[in-house]
Amino acid sequence: MKQFFSVADVIDLSGIVDEALRLKREPFAYSNLGKRKTLGLVFLNPSLRTRLSTHKAAANLGMDVMVMNMDKDGWALETRDGVAMDGTTVEHIREAAAVMGQYCDILGIRSFPKLVDQEEDYSEDLFGKFIRFCGVPVISLESATRHPLQSLTDLITIREHWKDDRKPKVVMAWAPHVKALPQAVPNSFAEWMCRAQAENILDFTIAHPAGYELSSVFTQGATVKYALDDALEGADFIYVKNWSSFKDYGKIHSVREQWMLDQGKLELTNQAKVMHCLPVRRDVELASEVLDGPQSLVIEEAGNRVWAAQVVLKRMLDELTTLNQL
Amino acid sequence: MKQFFSVADVIDLSGIVDEALRLKREPFAYSNLGKRKTLGLVFLNPSLRTRLSTHKAAANLGMDVMVMNMDKDGWALETRDGVAMDGTTVEHIREAAAVMGQYCDILGIRSFPKLVDQEEDYSEDLFGKFIRFCGVPVISLESATRHPLQSLTDLITIREHWKDDRKPKVVMAWAPHVKALPQAVPNSFAEWMCRAQAENILDFTIAHPAGYELSSVFTQGATVKYALDDALEGADFIYVKNWSSFKDYGKIHSVREQWMLDQGKLELTNQAKVMHCLPVRRDVELASEVLDGPQSLVIEEAGNRVWAAQVVLKRMLDELTTLNQL
Amino acid sequence: MKQFFSVADVIDLSGIVDEALRLKREPFAYSNLGKRKTLGLVFLNPSLRTRLSTHKAAANLGMDVMVMNMDKDGWALETRDGVAMDGTTVEHIREAAAVMGQYCDILGIRSFPKLVDQEEDYSEDLFGKFIRFCGVPVISLESATRHPLQSLTDLITIREHWKDDRKPKVVMAWAPHVKALPQAVPNSFAEWMCRAQAENILDFTIAHPAGYELSSVFTQGATVKYALDDALEGADFIYVKNWSSFKDYGKIHSVREQWMLDQGKLELTNQAKVMHCLPVRRDVELASEVLDGPQSLVIEEAGNRVWAAQVVLKRMLDELTTLNQL
In sign, the C-alpha dihedral spanning B47, B49, B52, B57 is: negative
**C-alpha–C-alpha distance, residues B31 and A32, integer Å:** 18
Residue contact A278–B72, C-beta within 8 A: no
CB pairs under 8 A between B and C: 75
- Shared domain for C123 and C26, answered yes or no, is yes
* Cβ atoms of residues C106 and C66 within 8 Å: no
What does the pLDDT read at residue C70? 82
Q: How many CB atoms lie within 10 A of CB B13?
A: 17
Does residue A292 lie within any of the structural domains?
A: yes
What does the pLDDT read at residue C81? 94
Indicate the pairing of strand B169-174 with strand B237-241. parallel
Q: Residues A227-276: pLDDT tens digits?
A: 999 999 999 999 999 999 999 999 999 999 999 999 999 999 999 999 99
Q: Tell me the CATH number at B8.
A: 3.40.50.1370
Does residue C156 lie within any of the structural domains?
A: no
Q: Containing H/E element for C261?
A: none
Nearest by Cα to B245 from B284, B223, B214, B206: B214
- Shared domain for A317 and A291, answered yes or no, is no
Question: What is the per-residue DSSP string for A155-221?
Answer: HHHHHHT---SSPPEEEEEE---SS---SHHHHHHHHHHHHHHHTTS-EEEEE--TT-PPPGGG-TT
What does the pLDDT read at residue C72? 63
Chain B residue with minimal CA distance to A45? B74
What does the pLDDT read at residue B74? 56
Chain C residue with minimal CA distance to A135? C299
Residues of A in CB contact (< 8 Å) with C are 36, 38, 40, 64, 66, 68, 70, 72, 74-75, 78, 81-87, 90-92, 94-96, 98-100, 102-104
What does the pLDDT read at residue C237? 98
A57: exposed, middle or buried (Cβ count in 10 Å: 0-12, 13-18, 19+):
buried
What does the pLDDT read at residue B73? 53
What does the pLDDT read at residue B322? 87
Residue contact B86–A298, C-beta within 8 A: no
Confidence of residue A46 (pLDDT cuts 50, 70, 90): confident
* Cβ atoms of residues A102 and C307 within 8 Å: no
Q: pLDDT above 70 covers what percent of chain B?
A: 99
**CA distance, residue C82 to nearest chain A CA (Å):** 35
- Average pLDDT estimate for A51-72: 93
**C-alpha–C-alpha distance, residues C127 and C109, integer Å:** 8
Residue contact A91–C279, C-beta within 8 A: yes
Nearest by Cα to C155 from C64, C21, C258: C21
Residue contact B102–A284, C-beta within 8 A: no
Residue A54 counted as an annotated binding residue: no
Chain C residue with minimal CA distance to B178? C86
- Shared domain for A73 and A138, answered yes or no, is yes
- Shared domain for C202 and C184, answered yes or no, is yes
Contacts of C93 in chain B (CB under 8 A): none
Q: How many CB atoms lie within 10 A of CB A139?
A: 24
Chain B residue with minimal CA distance to C81? B288
Does residue A155 lie within any of the structural domains?
A: no
B106 - beta bridge partners?
A: B39
Does residue A156 lie within any of the structural domains?
A: no
What does the pLDDT read at residue A168? 98
Chain B residue with minimal CA distance to A178? B86
Residue contact A303–B103, C-beta within 8 A: yes
- Shared domain for A288 and A315, answered yes or no, is no
Q: Containing H/E element for A139?
A: strand A138-140
Contacts of A134 in chain C (CB under 8 A): none
**C-alpha–C-alpha distance, residues C105 and C80, integer Å:** 26
What does the pLDDT read at residue B191? 98
**CA distance, residue B285 to nearest chain C CA (Å):** 9
Give, in degrees to the nearest 5, the angle at Cα A312 between A237 and A64.
Answer: 125
Chain B residue with minimal CA distance to A176? B86
Confidence of residue A73 (pLDDT cuts 50, 70, 90): low
Whether pLDDT at B172 is above 90: yes
**C-alpha–C-alpha distance, residues A53 and A57, integer Å:** 6
Substitution target in B23, B52, B285 with the highest count of C β-carbons within 10 Å is B52
ipTM of the complex: 0.95
Indicate the pairing of strand A106-110 with strand A91-92. unpaired
Q: Which residues neighbour C66 within 8 Å (Cβ) at sequence distance 6 or greater?
A: B51, B52, B55, B56, C38, C39, C40, C41, C103, C104
Q: Compute CA A142 distance to the chain's CA centroid, rounded to the nearest angstrom.
A: 6
**CA distance, residue B203 to nearest chain A CA (Å):** 46
Binding residues of C for carbamoyl phosphate, by number, are: 47-50, 75, 110, 147-150, 277-278, 305
Phi, psi torsion values for C217, nearest 5 degrees: -55, -30
- Shared domain for B314 and B286, answered yes or no, is no
Does residue B39 lie within any of the structural domains?
A: yes
**CA distance, residue A1 to nearest chain B CA (Å):** 25
Confidence of residue B325 (pLDDT cuts 50, 70, 90): confident
For residue B244, give the 3-state DSSP assignment. Answer: coil
What does the pLDDT read at residue A74? 56
- CA dihedral of residues C17, C19, C20, C26 (deg, nearest 10): 150
Confidence of residue A163 (pLDDT cuts 50, 70, 90): very high
Binding residues of C, by number, are: 47-50, 75, 110, 142, 147-150, 177, 241, 277-278, 281, 305
Binding residues of B for N(2)-succinyl-L-ornithine, by number, are: 142, 177, 241, 281
Substitution target in A79, A99, A129, A324 with the highest count of C β-carbons within 10 Å is A99
Query: Closest partner residue to A302 among B36, B72, B99, by Cβ?
Result: B99
**CA distance, residue B166 to nearest chain C CA (Å):** 31
Does residue C69 lie within any of the structural domains?
A: yes
Does residue C157 lie within any of the structural domains?
A: no
The separation between the first and the last C-alpha atoms of chain C, rounded to the nearest angstrom, is 16
Query: Closest partner residue to A283 among B38, B70, B85, by Cβ?
Result: B85
- Shared domain for B135 and B78, answered yes or no, is yes
Confidence of residue B46 (pLDDT cuts 50, 70, 90): confident
What does the pLDDT read at residue C74? 56
- Shared domain for B123 and B210, answered yes or no, is no
**C-alpha–C-alpha distance, residues C106 and C323, integer Å:** 14
Residues of C in CB contact (< 8 Å) with B are 36, 38, 40, 64, 66, 68, 70, 72, 74-75, 78, 81-87, 90-92, 94-96, 98-100, 102-104
- How many folded domains does chain B comprise? 2
What does the pLDDT read at residue B21? 98
Contacts of A90 in chain C (CB under 8 A): 279, 281
Chain C residue with minimal CA distance to B303? C102
Residues of B in CB contact (< 8 Å) with C are 27-28, 31, 46, 48-49, 51-53, 55-56, 59-60, 178, 278-284, 288, 291-292, 298-300, 302-303, 306
- Shared domain for A21 and A140, answered yes or no, is yes
Residues of C in CB contact (< 8 Å) with A are 27-28, 31, 46, 48-49, 51-53, 55-56, 59-60, 178, 278-284, 288, 291-292, 298-300, 302-303, 306
Q: Compute CA C31 distance to the chain's CA centroid, rounded to the nearest angstrom.
A: 25
Residue A274: C-alpha distances to residues A188, A241, A267, A299, B231 (Å): 18, 11, 12, 11, 62
What does the pLDDT read at residue C73? 53
Nearest by Cα to B59 from B302, B303, B316, B306: B306
Residue contact B299–C102, C-beta within 8 A: yes
Whether pLDDT at A141 is above 90: yes
Residue contact A302–B102, C-beta within 8 A: yes
Q: Residues B176-209: pLDDT tens digits?
A: 999 999 999 999 999 999 999 999 999 999 999 9
- Shared domain for A81 and A209, answered yes or no, is no
Substitution target in A70, A72, A78, A102 with the highest count of C β-carbons within 10 Å is A102
Report which DSSP code applies to C7.
G
Three-state secondary structure readout of B206-239: EECCCCCCCCHHHCCCCEEECCHHHHHCCCCEEE
Residue type at position B224? V
- Shared domain for B288 and B166, answered yes or no, is yes
What does the pLDDT read at residue B76? 85
Q: Residues B209-235: pLDDT tens digits?
A: 999 999 999 999 999 999 999 999 999
Residue C49: C-alpha distances to residues A95, A187, A224, A264, C206 (Å): 11, 34, 48, 55, 25
Confidence of residue B72 (pLDDT cuts 50, 70, 90): low
Phi, psi torsion values for C242, nearest 5 degrees: -90, 150
CB pairs under 8 A between A and B: 75
Domain that holds residue B142: 3-146+305-319
Residue contact A298–B83, C-beta within 8 A: no
Residue contact B59–C40, C-beta within 8 A: no
Q: Residues B230-268: pLDDT tens digits?
A: 999 999 999 999 999 999 999 999 999 999 999 999 999
**CA distance, residue C168 to nearest chain B CA (Å):** 46
- Shared domain for C267 and C314, answered yes or no, is no
Nearest by Cα to A276 from A312, A316, A305: A305
Contacts of A279 in chain B (CB under 8 A): 90-91, 95-96
- CA dihedral of residues B154, B159, B160, B162 (deg, nearest 10): 120
Q: Residues B10-38: pLDDT tens digits?
A: 999 999 999 999 999 999 999 999 999 99
Does residue A62 lie within any of the structural domains?
A: yes
- Average pLDDT estimate for A152-158: 98
Residue ranges of chain C with per-residue pLDDT less than 50: none
Mean residue pLDDT across chain B: 96
Residue type at position C310? Q
For residue B197, give the 3-state DSSP assignment. Answer: helix
Substitution target in C103, C132, C133 with the highest count of B β-carbons within 10 Å is C103
